[in-house]
């Protein structure tokens, strides 16, 4: 979506809303352009648009209640915690006066409900220090898969524009993304957006990380090719953003050369992250966090993401790099770990 000629945000089935203005005035005119692509999933593509005015207090109350409600799915319904959450949610609803929506008494009741749930759940029940979940935004973009490289050039623009928009709306939001090839595409296509990313990197809100030029195949390629992936990848991020990559980020690779630990260490890589071993149909890989020892004895600190899909049973050993920011996924990931 372009608003008044400016790249604003990517839109798809997961990104259906765009904040046009925090303080729109009567008579203001917005010129909206869409660059549309039907994709590969659906045979037809219908565009339906509406303009909405959002009240941040009402929306805030919705999420204040929705998040603990979502968390109940992974809990023992008879546990004290689950029963208390259910009770406090019910008490929160009781604060609402829905007899005359958008009246003064209605807005006052919304404020009362937010005050109640803040103390009852987020303060009195918060502060569980046994598990700390540290999360960062990420978009996994295949440089070439079911689409053409030309589409990848546009896809990176859509995805990175969405991230920049989120950073404007949510100052605490942080993001990481790998693959210098994507940044090179963006620099060539939308140089003004590329400069915005540079500013976010300086602010330590955007992490260009990942080690390689692309998230490379590690079964078919030679040792020389793998070395060059690190050489060009690390050099690009150092020259363009002033950062030194120390992590190999490969969430979606279908195999790993036993020479990689040695190549990583000699390339200045300290950590390795993946998840695809959990996609094995028959065997559960036994480790989550461990030292991977290569054929020459080199060891690299390695982590396999343990995130479950929302509602997925812990008996199913498939794990996903999609990592939806949802209580069910966080709790399932910890249980698996």
Pairwise CA distance, residues 283 & 271, whole Å: 24
Largest Cα–Cα separation, the chain: 73
How far is the C-alpha of 184 from the C-alpha of 241, rounded, in Å? 12
Helix (H) or strand (E) holding 207: strand 206-208
Instruction: Give the active site residue among 97, 217, 252, 288.
Output: 252
Side-chain half-sphere CA neighbours of 100 within 13 A: 4
Q: Which two tokens stand for residue 3?
A: 């608003």
Task: List the structure tokens of 287.
Answer: 């480790």
Neighbour order of strands in the sheet with 247-250:
247-250, 271-274, 299-304, 289-293
* Residue 279: both structure tokens together: 């996609």
Query: Does residue 252 carry a catalytic annotation?
Result: yes
CB environment 218-239: b (16+ within 10 A), e (fewer):
beeeeeeebeebbeebbebbee
Q: Which residues are CB-neighbours of 269 under 8 A, at least 6 positions away?
A: 211, 230, 245, 246, 247, 248, 300
* Distance between CA atoms of residues 203 and 32, nearest Å: 30
Pairing of strands 2-3, 32-33: antiparallel
Q: Which of 153, 139, 140 is nearest to 185 (CA)?
A: 153
- Pick the closest to residue 304 from 284, 316, 287 (CA basis): 287
Q: Are 156 and 187 in contact (CB under 8 A)?
A: no
Q: How far apart are CA 98 and CA 95, in angstroms?
A: 10
Catalytically active residues are: 252
């Amino acid at each position: 979506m372009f608003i008044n000629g400016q790249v604003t945000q990517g839109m798809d089935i997961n990104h259906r809303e765009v904040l046009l203005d925090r303080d729109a005035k009567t008579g203001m005119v917005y010129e909206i352009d869409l660059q549309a692509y039907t994709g590969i999933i659906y045979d037809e593509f219908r565009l339906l648009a509406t303009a909405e005015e959002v009240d941040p207090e009402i929306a805030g109350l919705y999420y204040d209640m929705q998040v603990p409600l979502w968390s109940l799915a992974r809990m023992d319904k008879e546990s004290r915690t689950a029963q208390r959450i259910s009770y406090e949610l019910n008490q929160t609803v009781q604060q609402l006066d829905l007899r005359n929506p958008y009246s003064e008494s209605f807005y006052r009741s919304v404020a009362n409900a937010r005050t109640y749930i803040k103390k009852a759940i987020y303060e009195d029940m918060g502060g569980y220090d046994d598990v700390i979940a540290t999360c960062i935004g990420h978009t996994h973009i295949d440089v070439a898969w079911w689409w053409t490289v030309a589409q990848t050039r546009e896809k990176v623009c859509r995805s990175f524009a969405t991230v920049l928009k989120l950073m404007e709306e949510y100052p605490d939001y942080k993001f990481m993304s790998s693959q210098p090839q994507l940044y090179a595409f963006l620099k060539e296509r939308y140089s003004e957006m590329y400069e915005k990313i540079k500013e976010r990197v300086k602010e330590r809100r955007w992490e260009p990380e990942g080690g390689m030029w692309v998230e490379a195949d590690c079964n078919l390629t030679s040792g020389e090719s793998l070395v060059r992936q690190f050489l060009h990848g690390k050099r690009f991020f150092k020259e363009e953003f002033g950062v030194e990559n120390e992590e190999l980020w490969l969430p979606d690779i279908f195999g790993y050369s036993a020479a990689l630990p040695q190549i990583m260490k000699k390339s200045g890589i300290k950590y390795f992250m993946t998840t695809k071993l959990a996609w094995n149909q028959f065997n559960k890989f036994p480790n989550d966090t461990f030292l991977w020892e290569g054929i020459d004895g080199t060891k690299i600190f390695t982590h396999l993401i343990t995130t479950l899909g929302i509602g997925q049973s812990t008996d199913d050993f498939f794990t996903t790099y999609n990592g939806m920011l949802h209580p069910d996924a966080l709790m399932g990931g910890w249980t698996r770990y």
